[in-house]
Amino acid sequence: MKKTVKKSRKDWVVKIVAVNEGLAREDNMRLKLQELDSLDEYRLAAQQRLECYQSRIPKAYDKKVKVQSYQVGHMVLDVIRPIHMRAMNAKLMPKWDRPYLIQEPYPSVAYLMTQVKNVGPINDRYLKRYYP
């Protein structure tokens, strides 16, 4: 066996397995190909598990999402964007701006608020309901 391994170190694992099991090189290669063919079954099973998992992800996400809708007159807090926080010490700054009144809801998820200067509609993901 040492002579077999010393000739070429590239495929020594294949040769040792073949020698240990008493197989010829061709028989060993045939068995390896059969093992590779059986991988298709494992791949198919893995693909099915993946599809099952991917179908469950949206359901789990939809359970946790809370639908926000604000009406005219509701008071909301506006998030302070990180761009404005860099100038100041962001660690000690509040994360939400003062309460605003909803002036006009848009058909999408945007709202126009009163007392906001030079700002158009704001997306609802940047708003949070304010309870006085």
pLDDT tens figures, 39-69 = 888 899 999 999 999 999 999 998 988 777 8
CA torsion, ordered 19, 21, 22, 24, to nearest 10 deg: -70
Residue 76 pLDDT exceeds 60: yes
Dihedral sign (CA 2, 8, 13, 19)? negative
Task: Output phi, psi for 22, to 5 deg.
Answer: 70, 30
* Residue 66, token pair as written in the block: 């809370």
Please give the average per-residue pLDDT across 76-91, as a whole number: 71
At 109, which helix (H) or strand (E)? none
